[in-house]
């Protein structure tokens, strides 16, 4: 709990532990993780004065992360102004928090301001920056715009990674564009990137909810071969879906594979198997 963390910080001096900027940053981060953004603001504002601590880049990045996650990114400009007064240069995390926040609040003019600010500081947008922007656009159900950013990356000679494609796969699937989600997966593999378990879980789930049970089965089998299995609810959707399109044998085989390779939920799968049409 944040209040426990604050009390521990306050007691550190009595324990002979210096109340320095590292400890302050740890306290700020604990409040961010607890989503107690008001407390982050209070500590960021008051504690450096009370305890004579000089904030550093990590301090400001914690404050910006809090503002971004709490929907108060417009207040970030005052943090940036203080950083400039103290001659503390922003880094990739600084810009990442700003972009993520402004995108989530759909403040696209401010996104442009951040890009200009990056250029002002001689900071060339790299892979991490593009991934933040692509993820943010996908969350806003603007996956086509996110794909355009991917094309822009490639045009600038910046190579995407597996994370880039996972954001796009999830984005297109959540928008119901399952064909595009599958194509993104194929493009990812063609470029030599190894899909992680979340890529498979995303595709199996959304293909099932979209009624494309044959494609879902293909991705589920690939996932199982890699010793990754989606959760029981998703796999139950797939099994029921296969039965609904007359593929009872495939459903039975899939259950057999899961029971053979995974010890979890074996009893539940046996019950499902007994209920399958003969």
pLDDT digit string (tens) for 129-162? 899 999 999 999 999 999 999 999 989 999 999 9
Residue 206 lies in a domain: no
pLDDT over 70, % of the chain: 100
The per-residue pLDDT for 2 is 72
Do 172 and 76 share a structural domain? no
Do 229 and 132 share a structural domain? no
Residue 119 lies in a domain: yes
What is the mean pLDDT of the segment spanning 262-272? 88
Q: Are 136 and 105 in contact (CB under 8 A)?
A: no
Do 13 and 117 share a structural domain? yes
Residue 202 lies in a domain: no
Do 116 and 56 share a structural domain? yes
Tokens of 26: 């740890």
How high is the mean pLDDT of the chain? 93
Residue 201 lies in a domain: no
- Lowest mean pLDDT of 58-62, 213-217, 261-265, name the range: 261-265
What is the mean pLDDT of the segment spanning 248-255? 94
Do 178 and 101 share a structural domain? no
CATH of the domain at 69: 1.25.40.10
Q: Which residues have a Cβ under 8 Å from the Cβ of 256 and sit 6 or more positions away? A: 273
What is the mean pLDDT of the segment spanning 83-87? 94
Do 120 and 1 share a structural domain? yes
* Cα separations in angstroms, 171 against 80, 132, 158, 189: 31, 13, 21, 18
Q: Are 206 and 178 in contact (CB under 8 A)?
A: yes
Do 219 and 116 share a structural domain? no
Residue 171 lies in a domain: yes
Do 132 and 101 share a structural domain? no
Residue 83 lies in a domain: yes
Do 179 and 149 share a structural domain? yes
Do 57 and 6 share a structural domain? yes
The per-residue pLDDT for 10 is 86
Residue 233 lies in a domain: yes
* Cα separations in angstroms, 11 against 16, 211, 219: 9, 58, 54
Last residue of a domain, one of 96, 124, 152: 124
Do 118 and 1 share a structural domain? yes
Do 256 and 163 share a structural domain? no
Tokens of 213: 């049970």
pLDDT (tens digit per residue) in 11-54:
888 888 888 999 999 999 999 999 999 999 999 999 999 999 99
Residue 252 lies in a domain: yes
pLDDT (tens digit per residue) in 51-82:
999 999 999 999 999 999 999 999 999 999 99
Is the pLDDT score of 278 beyond 80? no
The per-residue pLDDT for 19 is 87
Q: Are 138 and 171 in contact (CB under 8 A)?
A: yes
Domain assignment of residue 111, given as a range: 1-124
Number of folded domains in the chain? 3
Q: Whole-model pTM?
A: 0.80
The per-residue pLDDT for 1 is 65
């Amino acid at each position: 709990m944040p209040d426990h963390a604050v009390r521990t910080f306050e007691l550190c001096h009595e324990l002979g532990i210096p109340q320095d900027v590292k400890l302050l940053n740890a306290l700020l981060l604990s409040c961010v993780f607890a989503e107690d953004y008001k407390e982050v603001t209070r500590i960021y504002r008051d504690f450096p004065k009370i305890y004579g601590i000089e904030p550093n880049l990590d301090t400001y990045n914690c404050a910006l992360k809090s503002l971004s996650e709490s929907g108060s990114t417009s207040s970030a400009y005052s943090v940036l102004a203080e950083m400039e007064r103290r001659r503390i240069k922003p880094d990739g995390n600084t810009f990442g928090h700003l972009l993520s926040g402004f995108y989530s609040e759909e403040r696209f003019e401010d996104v442009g301001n951040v890009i200009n600010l990056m250029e002002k500081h001689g900071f060339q947008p790299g892979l991490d920056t593009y991934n933040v922007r692509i993820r943010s656009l996908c969350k806003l159900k603007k996956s086509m715009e996110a794909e355009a950013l991917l094309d822009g990356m490639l045009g600038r000679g910046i190579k995407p990674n597996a994370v880039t494609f996972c954001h796009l796969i999830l984005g297109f699937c959540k928008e119901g564009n399952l064909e595009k989600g599958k194509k993104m997966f194929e493009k990812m593999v063609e470029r030599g990137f190894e899909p992680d378990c979340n890529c498979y879980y995303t595709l199996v789930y959304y293909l099932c909810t979209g009624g494309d049970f044959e494609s879902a089965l293909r991705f589920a089998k690939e996932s199982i071969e890699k010793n990754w299995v989606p959760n029981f609810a998703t796999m139950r959707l797939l099994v029921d879906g296969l039965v609904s399109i007359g593929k009872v044998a495939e459903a039975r085989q899939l259950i057999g594979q899961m029971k053979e390779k995974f010890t979890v939920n074996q009893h539940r799968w046996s019950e499902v198997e007994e209920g399958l049409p003969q």
